[in-house]
Structure 1
C-alpha cells in the first residue's frame, strides 16, 4: 500500500510539473527577462555591447532582436538578431543570459528586446559610443552597499544627466555571497539606469572588498578578459583601465598594467579605476600598496584621473606625481594625476579630512559627472543627490611645441645687435667698401644661375 502511495504521489508531482511547463511555454510570457543591464566584453566600446538578463528557467531564450528604428516590441519586425548563452551558479536566483552584439555602428541608437520562448522584454534602446565625438559624458560613483533607498535615489539622479556610461567603483552589496542583495542591486540597475532620453545606460564595474570575490559577481557581469582587470577604448582618444585592488597589485596584475598603459600611452585621455584609494584623508586612509606599485606607472604614462571608492565621502586631490614628490603637489594637472574618491552612493558616510594632497573634500552622498570635449578639454563636476554641483574643475591636455620660437628669436636678435655695434666702429669709408664688395659678390653669383 505504501508503495502504491509513493507511486501515486510521484505521478501527481510529475503531472503538475508537466502542466506548469506546458503552461509556461504555451503562454510564451510567463518567464520574461528581469535585471537587464549593459556592459562590454571586449575593449571596443563603439562597435559592440553585451546585454545580460535573468530568467527563472534555462530554456526561456537567449535571443536579442534589435534594429536602428523602433519596432515597439513586436518580435516579427526587428531586422537583426543575435543569440548567446545562459548559465547559473550555486546560490543563484535564476539563469543568467548573455548576448553580445557586434558590428554595430558608432554613435547610433539601437532598439532591442531580449528573451525567447519564455517571453520578451519591453523594448529598450541604447546608443553606441561615437568615435569622433564633440562631447562625451560619463558618470562615476561607488559604495551603495545596503542602503537601497539612497542607492536608488542616486542612480536616478545620475541618469538624469544622460551619461554615455557609468563607472561603478565597487561595493555594490554588503555581502558578495548574499544573492538577495544582488537581486536588489540588479533590479535597481534595471529600473533606474535609464536616462531622461530613454537610453539604457551601460556600466563599467570593478570589484570592491564587499564583493568578497564571490562567484555572484562574476556570474552576473559579462566583462573582458579575466573580469578582474581589463581595459576599454573609445577610438584612439579615451582609454579606461579597470583594476582589482582586492587582488595582488604586483606580479601578474602589475605586468599587465604596464603593458596596457605602454600600448595606449598616446591616447588623449587615460583613466584608471579601482576600489581602494591611493590617496584618502578619510577613515580608511591611503592604500599604500597601490601607491607603491601602481602610482609610478600612472606617473610614467600620465594617467589623467584615477577613480576609487572605499572611503565613504568625496575627495579630489591636487595634481600628484608620486615619483617626483611624496610631500607636495605639482603646479598643474598637466604635470600630475588627479585622484578622485567617489564613494557616496548610499553606504554610511565617513567624516572627510584634509592632507597636503587635498584640493577638496566633503562628506556627502554624491556622484561625479565628467565631460570630455573635442577641443581636448575636460570638465569634472561633483554633484549631490539633487544634482547640484559642489565641486568642479576644468582640465586641458598639455600642448608641447616642437620648438621654442622665443629662444630662437632671442638668439637672432642678440646676434644682429652685436653685428650692428661692430659695424658702427668702422669708418664710413670702410663700411662703403664692405657694401661694395658684398654687392659685387652677389652680382657674380647671380650670373651663374
Structure 2
C-alpha cells in the first residue's frame, strides 16, 4: 500500500472520529411496506447502537419510547460503517417516531409512516441517474421532502465513478429528502451500470436479494413492484424468478417494474437493450405489468401503451401500440447526470424531451397517473400536507408536452363498473358571473349497478354532494380562474369517473410565464444551410453565426413555448420574451420577430421547421441596446409582442395550454448579432415568454363604444336565426358595391370570429359550432363610410 493511500485512509478515519455518533441516514423498503421498514445509517463513533421507537413522539427522550431494536446487520463498506435495523410487526398506515442511541450520543428524532394495507391511493416518485451534478441532485432530493411520497423508486447510477468519496457525498445529499419535521421517506433502490457490482447496492441499502432483484406488494393487493437488475443477465435465474412471481400474483390490481438500462433507449448513441427485451417484455405484457420505469439515457420519454410484436406492418423495433392492455414505458434518468438529447423517437413514443426530471406516480384501484416533474430549486415551493400528498403545490413545475401533462393508465378489471361523467352546461374557458352563483350540472352514464353520488369541488375544495338525478349544485365564484371538478361514484364505490373544467369568473388580471423546456424548442436554422436545424447550441446567436459555412451566415432563431396558460377570450395587455445575455455585445443589429400562424405549435424537428412555418403578417422590430454578459434586464427583453399573441389567442382553435412558436432574424442581413443563453447551455437561463392578460374588464368599455357608434348610425342588416345553433347567417342589404368588416364578440369583449364580406355576396355564413351557449355581439362596419351596426344574438 502506498504512503499516499495510507495518509488518505488516516485522514478519513480521523474525520470519522471527529464527527457525531451517526449520520447519513436512509429508510429502505425490503419487505411488506405496511408492517416492516429498514433503517440504515453510518455509525461514526460510539458502540452498541439501538433504535428506540413508538407511535408517540417523545423527541430525543429515548427512554420513553416503548420499543427498541438492536442492529440487524452491519457492514464496513465505502469507508462507512453501515448499520441496519429492521423494524417488524408495525401497524399499517401509522406514524412511528424513533431515535438512535449509542454509548456516546442520541440522534435527532426522526419519523416515518408505514404504508396502508388497504386499496387506499398511493404516491410514488421514480427516477435515477443522480451521478455528478450535485446542484440538481440536491434540488431533486429537496423536492422529495416536499412531495412526501409513500416510496422513492431509484433506478441506479447514484454516483459517477462509484468512489468512496462520491458515496459519502451522495448519502450526505440524500439527507435533504428528510422533511423539516424529521419525516423520512423510504427508498427502493436498483443497480445501475455505474455501480461496479451488486454488492454496492446490497451493502449500502441491505436489499432483500444479493443479486439486487426483488418484489414488494403495497396495500391490499393494490400494486406489486418489481425491481430488476439490468447489469446482470436478464435471462436464467432472474427471468425464471420473474415469471414465477408474476404467475403467483394473479389477484394484484397493478404491477409495475423498475430497472436501469432501457429496452429501447430514446437516445441514438445508446445501445439497444435486447437482452431485457427478449427476456422481460413478453412477461410484462402477458402478466399485466402496465408501467415500467427506466433510466440510463439521461433524457425524458413516455410511450403509449405497447406490446412486443414481430413481423407485421405496425411492428416497429419490436413493439406496437395496444391501448387496452399494453405497457407504458417511462424514463430515462436525469436526477443530476449530464443531459443528452432525446433524438431517437419511435412511432409508439408519446413524448420526449431533455431536462432534469423524475416521475410522480399516483396509484389507486382504478388508474395510474404519471406526471413528469421538472427539477428546479424548490426553495419557494410549498410542501404538500402529511395527510394528503395528492393536492399538488401550485408552484410545482410539471412537464406539459403536446399530449398532456398526465399519462393515465386505466384498470380494465373495473371497466364494466366505471361510470362516465360529463359537464352539461360548462366548457373550458367559459366566462361566468362573479356576482351570482354559477350553476354546475353534469350528466352521468349509469354503469349498470347504479350511481351512489356525485361530488363537486372548486379549486380542490369540496362544495357539495348530490345523490340523485339531476346531479347539480351551485357555487358563488370569486373573480379569477377556477378549476371545477365533478366525480361520480358507482353504487358500491368500487369505481368512479372524474372530470374537470376551468372557467373564468368576473374580471381579473393575471401574468403567466412559459420557459423553453427542451432542446428542440430553441433552435438555429442557417439561412444558407438548406433548412438544417441545430438543436444543441450552447448559445442562440440572433443574427450572424460563423458555424454554418466557411464564411458564416445569418440565421433564423426558432423559439417554442409549451403550455402557454392563456384562456380563450383573454385580452393581452402585455407580452415580451426575456433572454439572458451569453456575451457582451454592442454592435448595432436590427432584429425582426414574427409569430408562427399555428394554434398549437409543435417542436422544431424537421428541415425548414423555423423558416418554413406560416407566419402571421404582423412583425415586430427590435433594435436591442448593448448587452453585458450574464445580464437579465430590459436590454435583453424584446419589445411589446402583445399584438402577436392576441392574434394567436383569437384563433378559433386556440385552447388554454397550447404552445406558441416565434421566429427571429436579422432584418438588415448584417454580420452583427446578440448572443443569448440557450436551453442546452443552462435551462434555468433559457428564454422565457412573459404575458399579462385580463378577462372581463373590457365588457363595459366595449358596450359603451358600440352603443355610441350605434346611435350615430341607423344602417341595418338581417341576422338569423336568432337564437342560433350551429350556423349564423348575415344578409347584407346594400345598393352600393362595397365591403364590410364583421366581428363576433362574446360578452367579455373577446373576438370569437372575424372576416370580410362583399355586399354582392348576399349571405355571409359564420361558423359557430365551437362556441359555448350564451350571448354574443355581432359588429358590422361598412368599409367606405365607416358606418357601424351591432346585433345582440344568443346561442
TM-score scaled by length of structure 1: 0.78
Q: Which residue of 2 aligns with 1:335?
A: 325
Report deviation, 1:400.
Answer: 6.8
Partners of 1:233 and 1:239 within 8 A in 2: yes
Deviations 1:339-380 (A, max 9, x none): 112301101000013111210110000111001124x12211
Q: Which residue of 2 aligns with 1:260?
A: 245
> Which of 240, 243, 261 is matched with 2:228 structurally?
243
Q: Is 2:214 the counterpart of 1:225?
A: no
Deviations 1:217-253 (A, max 9, x none): 3221121132511111113111000110000111111
> Which of 257, 269, 272 is matched with 1:272 structurally?
257
Distance 2:55 2:29 in 1: 19
Distance 1:227 1:60 in 2: 31
Q: Which residue of 2 aligns with 1:34?
A: 23
Q: Which residue of 2 aligns with 1:385?
A: 375
Structure with higher helix content: 1
5+ unaligned residues in a row in structure 1: which ranges? 1-19, 403-449
> Which of 297, 321, 324 is matched with 2:283 structurally?
297
SS state of the match for residue 278, structure 2? helix
1:30-429 equivalences under 5 Å are 31-42=20-31, 44-57=32-45, 60-89=47-76, 92-176=78-162, 178-190=163-175, 192-195=176-179, 198-213=182-197, 215-234=199-218, 235-282=220-267, 283-323=269-309, 326-327=315-316, 329-332=320-323, 334-353=324-343, 354-374=345-365, 376-386=366-376, 387-390=396-399, 391-399=405-413
SS state of the match for residue 257, structure 1? helix
Partners of 1:60 and 1:115 within 8 A in 2: no
Deviations 1:141-200 (A, max 9, x none): 100111112101111123321111100000000122x1111111111112x112466520
Change (3 A) 1:331 1:197: farther
Distance 1:40 1:360 in 2: 31
Deviations 1:356-410 (A, max 9, x none): 1210110000111001124x122110010133111321221003789xxxxxxxx
Greater RCO structure (CA 8 Å; 6+ sep) = 1
Distance 1:62 1:227 in 2: 28
Distance 2:110 2:90 in 1: 16
Distance 2:65 2:237 in 1: 44
Report deviation, 1:48.
Answer: 0.3
Q: Which residue of 1 aligns with 2:392?
A: none
Report deviation, 1:61.
Answer: 2.7
Partners of 1:114 and 1:121 within 8 A in 2: yes
Change (3 A) 1:31 1:401: closer
Partners of 1:40 and 1:222 within 8 A in 2: no
Distance 1:371 1:269 in 2: 12
Distance 2:48 2:20 in 1: 10
Distance 1:82 1:273 in 2: 31
Distance 1:195 1:329 in 2: 42
Distance 2:320 2:164 in 1: 43
SS state of the match for residue 412, structure 2? coil
Partners of 2:22 and 2:43 within 8 A in 1: yes
Change (3 A) 1:401 1:313: closer
RMSD of aligned Cα (Å): 2.2
SS state of the match for residue 321, structure 2? coil
Partners of 1:140 and 1:367 within 8 A in 2: yes
SS state of the match for residue 304, structure 1? strand
Distance 2:172 2:54 in 1: 25
Q: Which residue of 2 aligns with 1:447?
A: none
Change (3 A) 1:133 1:116: farther
Change (3 A) 1:133 1:285: same
Change (3 A) 1:85 1:378: closer
Report deviation, 1:31.
Answer: 3.8
Q: How many residues align?
A: 370
Deviations 1:260-303 (A, max 9, x none): 11112321010101000112221315311111111010011010
5+ unaligned residues in a row in structure 2: which ranges? 1-13, 377-395, 400-404, 417-795
Partners of 1:56 and 1:93 within 8 A in 2: no
Distance 1:274 1:401 in 2: 30
Change (3 A) 1:68 1:350: same
Which has the larger displacement, 239-248 or 223-232? 223-232
SS state of the match for residue 170, structure 1? coil
Report deviation, 1:206.
Answer: 0.3
Q: Which residue of 2 aligns with 1:440?
A: none
